[in-house]
Structure formats: structure tokens, C-alpha cells
Structure 1
Amino acid sequence: MPEVFRFQEAASALGISLEVLHPHSFDLVVGAADGWSVKYQDREMERPDFILCRTGAETDYFTLALLRHFERRGVRLVNGPATIELVADKLHTLQRLNRAGLPIPRTILGKFPMDAALVERELGFPLIVKTLKGTRGAGVLKCEDRSQFEDLTGLLESAEAQADFILQHYVRASHGRDVRVLVVGGRVVAAMERRSLTGGFKSNVSLGGIGVAYNPPAEMAEIAVQAADVLDLDVTGIDILFDEDGYRICEANSAPGFQGLERASGLDIPTATLEWIVATHGAPDRAPAPAESNALAELLFGGRTGLRAISDRNTDYRRFVSAVGLRMVAAGIVALAHAVLPASLTDRKGRVSLGLHTLFDGRVQANLASLDDAEQERTLLVVLGVAIWAAILPWLAGAEAMPGGCLTALALAFPLLFLLSAPAGRVGKSMSSLLKADWP
């Protein structure tokens, strides 16, 4: 593949010793006395710093077994065998994305005999038929109507076709075009819009389509980054469709082709990928982000892509902290506005509203009234201590009188809010505890 030669060129320029190895030339020995015991073409192989896997959707069982062997011996894999196997199965990929709340086309797993009435009711016509393990646009076709669909399924059934396939809702707004977004290490590094030149529905560059440079909107970039995180892909091409209401993820690739993307964007993609691998070599594995942190990142910064953009633009620590603080204050003001304004005056589909509802729906249902007196006292003291510190912080930072006073008043309002929102009896108990407390 041309991409392999591009990686060799980039590695040579960066001073990286990069070897291209064929998986089936390895001898895989399990249970050998030597903890490493890896041979390639009958020669002992030294432990590599990393392995960049380019087998993609065509990865067979032997290759997966080999990658697992390397993984269990502590070799860094980009990408790993579990995620390669996951992404090679298009339905499994869509199930994982849908579970994470990311937008996908409605999909049905094919079976025989097919219920055409069910398919028409759930997906409508035209619809897309895909094999589960196709790549580069192969194994994908469009059925215009129910008659054509019944002819196709009848042919497949009579031929006893062995390939598994899925049926997908046809996204009309994306006819003949989509966007390939390249994500490396959780960041969007390049994107191109792919367009069909023949008027057909396929836009793959490998099938004669063209790619043009594309600057993905923040919402699209965030969808691509979230998809890469959900699928645990270090390096991936996320294909995104245009929908009437936004975007939908078409599929993900564990070894994306990038010839057209390089021509369109002008970015040296192998160099960008290898530089990220070198820069993160030896870094601890990232823990998966909980849903609450994702919702907060979306609410405050427009998603993790927005936060990473802030860190990329502000290399000085103080400037970064200032930019983060301003966005947190702005988000707080907007959240308070949502609290006081009538529902009819707020954008229910807006980023802030969606983020607040996500946090509210996922909140921990705790009955504060069930806390005993000692726990209530400790909680109030902690809130009070934090509020006092937050109240003096603007003055320590040299804030002017007016904004400093406003921030101080806002900070001191939290203990009052804590008491006023208390279950019955907590105000009296808490104030009594404060009066009786042994203050230093």
C-alpha cells in the first residue's frame, strides 16, 4: 500500500528505525520458557518500542493472535487488537457508538428470510446494503425501492450467500458526499470532504471520488473525537455523513487510507502520526472519562476538542488558566440564566441546555435528609470553608473593586443556598452546630 511507503519516508526523516513486517512471517510460540520468544522469518526479533498496525478491516485471526501476543508482553500497539477487531465489524461499531449516545444511521442486521415490510417501515426506501467487513467502498450498494430490495434478497438467499450484511437508512442530505476526519491521539489533525464525480452515492476517493480540504465545525470535530474515544482508537479515520439535523457517523477505520487526505489538506500525515507516538511514548494509559466529565467538558468548553484547542492556543500556564476561568464564569452565568428565565425563552436544543439536562438526568439520587447530624455539620463546614477561600481569591488575584465584590458575593451565597435548600430541620441543626463548634 502507498501509505506504508509514506510511513517509511517519514520515519527515515525523523530518525526512527521503522521495519515493515508481514504478520504471517512470524512464528508464534505460546508457553515458551523465554518470556519474549518472538521469531520473524526464523530469526529472533528484538522487542520493539511500538507497533503501528496497518492491517485494518482485513485483519485475520492469525494477525489478531499475534497482536495479542505482543500486547501481553508490554509492547505498545497503535491500534490494539481488541479495537481493530471491534471496528472491523460494522454492526458492532455502530452498537458501541449508539450506546454512547453518538448519532448513527438506523440499522438492521440482515437475515433470511427478510421481512420487507419491517424494513420499509423502519428504514424506508431507498436504503443502503453493506457487508459487515467491507472496506474502501466495496460491498456497499443502494436499493432504490422495495421491488429491487426483494430481488436482491431473493438472489442472495437462492445463492446461499455466506456474507453477513446490514441494512441502513439512506441519509439523503449526504448523497454523494461525506467527510473523512482523521483523529490522532484524541485530536482532529486533518479532514476532507469527499465528493462523487459521477452523481452516485459513493464518495470514496479509491472509487474515483475527489477530496477537498475541509475545516470541520466544532460539533463535527467533537463527534469524531468522541467516536475515537468510545472505540479506543489512537489513530483513526471517522467517516461522517451530513444529516438534515446535523451529522451521523457512517463508520470508523483502524488503518485509514490517507492519500487523498494528504493531497487535499497538505498535511504530512505519517509525520504527524509518528511525532505523536514519539511524544507520548512511555506515558501512562488514559483512564476512560466518566459521563459526567464529558458533559461538563461539553457544557464549559464545547467538548474535549474545545478544551484541547484552548490548551494548544495558550502554551503559557497563566494564559491557559485565565482562558479556562473566563469560560467557566461565562458558563455559570448562562446556567443561572437558564434557571431564572422561562423555559420558552431558552434554547432546549442548545449546547448549554443539553449539557445541563445530561448532568441532571445522570445525577446521583441522594437524600440529604438521611445524613446524620455530624455529616451535615461536616458538609456545611466544608462548603463554608471553600466559600470563604473563593471569596478572598479575587482580591488575592488583584481584581478591581466592582468585579471582585461581585465574585465575593457570589461565593458567599453558596453557604446560604446550602442552608436555604436544606431538608426540614437542617438549618436549625446546622446553625446550632456552628454556634457550639470549637473554633480555633
Structure 2
Amino acid sequence: MKLLMLCREPRLYSCERLKEAAEQSNHHMDILDPNRFLLKLEQNAPHFSMYYQPAGAEPYLLSDYDVIIPRFGSASTRMGCALLRHFEGRKVPCLNSSSAFLRARDKWLSLQLLREAGIPVPDTALIGDEFNISQGMSMAKMPTILKTLSGAQGIGVILAEQMQSAVSILETLKQAQVPTLLQDFIAEAQGTDLRCFVVGNQVIAAMKRISQNGEFRANFHRGGLAEKIQLTSEEKNMAIKATQILGLDVAGVDLIRSQRGPLVLEVNASPGLEMIEKTSHIDIASQIIVQAEKIAKSS
């Protein structure tokens, strides 16, 4: 097959591993920056044409691919999803569709969809622009977690221990027009969470992430450590169901163990491979390529 990965940083561990796995399966993979595309809608065929411009070179008309694998960050969500929709218009399967990617990237929308489907999540609130922030905060438990609606790798996640500081932070984010939600702080988790890596309808790997040095976020990019973890059947089923509800083929589902049972913190449409592959010793990249082969055959 001829595969295309959409990623701004081809030298990232995840990109290099996926390219290596593709080549080991005798597939060709290109890695292109979604922000270097020009998309066109035209009356005459092809209706969904696209041009790519490498750095310092002339643009060229892009040829077709068998499967698209999106790996772009939150800063490229708008252009990346427009590009996925263009490929979908050309009947090219994407390993995470544009609509599923958008649902996962909007933290509030994804939590709404999960809760509607009966998936337990931490108590969460979204305050409208004209709602008094102080009155909104009076309905929240302290300490509380503030999360921007887009963000990854722990960026945009803030622990506010006092109501006054929470109000101040929210007012600043509101002034900067950064939508933010409030979420219960699960103290009993003691700075740990679970990352479940879902491919297709299976949890193929899992790890427990552990925060370090007083940092409440357990993300790898925030200095967190990881260890192998044995998930319960309930946790596996919850991760798979959350992935299906958002319509994803590949996902990193973050769970937290609370006094009322496991809760879904969020679902990542472009989960990193480095920490979980090294912790679990599972070749996740090859299983993603196998999933790409499956959707190519079924399309």
C-alpha cells in the first residue's frame, strides 16, 4: 500500500516507528506537513484536488494514497481535519476520520458524548461568557482542575487549589478568549492515571502514569513515569466503548481510578507511542499498520 502520515515533525518517535513498521510490511509511507497543503474544490474532476509545497520548493499536485494516518497536533487541527475531509471526499480511508478527530479534540464535546452514552466521567462544568465566573465557581468543588478545550501533553491543564485563584485564572483565560472547562480533582488517584491504547476494538497496551516532584499531571512530557498495569475487564470495556462512541479507529483513552470506580478523563485521537511501547514492550506501531490494512480492504 501507499500510506500517507500527516505530521509536522517526521522525526518524532511515533512517526519514525510507524514508518518503520509500514516498511517492514512492504508498504510505502510518506510523511507530509498538513499546513503545507493547498486544497481546492472545483467543478471539473477531480472535485477534491490538493497541492503540496515542500519547504523551499514549488508546489505539486498530490497523487492518491490507499490510507491516511493523521498524527498532527492540536495547533494543526483545523487544517488537518479539512485535509482529512478532502481525502474522504476522494473515498480514501482515514485511520481516524475527520469527524471523529474533531470530536476527540474538543474536550467538552467528547465528554458530553461519553456521558450521554453512560460512560462515567469526572464532574465537569463549562461556564458561558456572560455567566458570572465567581457564581459559577461557587458551584465547583475545591481544589478544581481547569482545562482548555484544546491542548495535549498536559498543556492547558491547571490545578487551582483556592477559589480566588481559580476565578483569577478563569478571568484571564476568558479575556484571552480561551474556552476552559472545570473538572473535579480526584485526590484519591494520588497523581496517577491509566493510559489505554485502543486499536480497532481491542485494548492492545496499557500503562499506569505516575506524576513526579509535586507535579499533579502524570504526562510523559511533564516528567511523569510509567509502569505496566493490569486493567480490569470494566476498564478495558470502558476504554473500547469510549473509542467507539467518538468513532475512532485508534485512540489513547485516559482513565482515572476514583472512589466511585474508573472514570474517563479524555480520549486522544493521536496518542504517542514512545512511553507506552517502551513500558509495555508491545509493538503498537505494527498493529496500527495492520489496522490500516484492514480499513483499506474494507473500503
| TM-score above 0.5, yes or no | yes
CA contact under 8 A between 2:67 and 2:94: conserved in structure 1?
yes
Structure 2: gaps spanning 5 or more residues: 1-11, 54-58
Match of 2:13 in 1: 2
Distance 1:32 1:221 in 2: 47
- 1:174 and 2:189 aligned: yes
Q: How many Å apart are 1:221 and its aligned residue?
A: 0.4
Q: How many Å apart are 1:245 and its aligned residue?
A: 1.7
Determine which of 121, 135, 143 is the counterpart of 1:126.
143
Structure 1: gaps spanning 5 or more residues: 285-440
Match of 2:49 in 1: 37
Change (3 A) 1:245 1:254: same
TM-score by length of 2: 0.88
Distance 2:44 2:173 in 1: 50
Match of 1:231 in 2: 246
Q: Which amino acid aligns with 1:102?
A: I
CA contact under 8 A between 2:191 and 2:210: conserved in structure 1?
yes
The alignment's C-alpha RMSD in Å is: 1.8
Determine which of 75, 81, 90 is the counterpart of 2:107.
90
SS for the counterpart of 2:231 is coil
CA contact under 8 A between 1:57 and 1:84: conserved in structure 2?
no
Match of 1:343 in 2: none
Structure ranking higher in strand proportion: 2
Match of 1:246 in 2: 261
CA contact under 8 A between 2:121 and 2:263: conserved in structure 1?
yes
Distance 1:95 1:279 in 2: 30
Distance 2:225 2:234 in 1: 24
Once the two structures are superposed, what CA deviation does each residue of 1:167-208 show, in whole Å capped at 9, x if it has no partner? 111112223100000000111000000001213311001110
Q: Which amino acid aligns with 1:116?
A: S
Match of 1:60 in 2: 77
Count the aligned residue pairs: 281
Match of 2:223 in 1: 208
Match of 1:50 in 2: 67
Distance 1:124 1:106 in 2: 9
CA contact under 8 A between 2:194 and 2:256: conserved in structure 1?
yes
SS for the counterpart of 1:76 is coil
Percent identity for Structure 1 against Structure 2: 31
- 1:144 and 2:157 aligned: no
Once the two structures are superposed, what CA deviation does each residue of 1:255-280 show, in whole Å capped at 9, x if it has no partner? 00121101100011111110222144
Q: How many Å apart are 1:149 and its aligned residue?
A: 2.0
Distance 1:156 1:75 in 2: 39
Q: How many Å apart are 1:7 and its aligned residue?
A: 1.1
CA contact under 8 A between 1:184 and 1:235: conserved in structure 2?
yes
Q: How many Å apart are 1:64 and its aligned residue?
A: 2.0
Distance 1:104 1:8 in 2: 35
Q: How many Å apart are 1:61 and its aligned residue?
A: 2.5
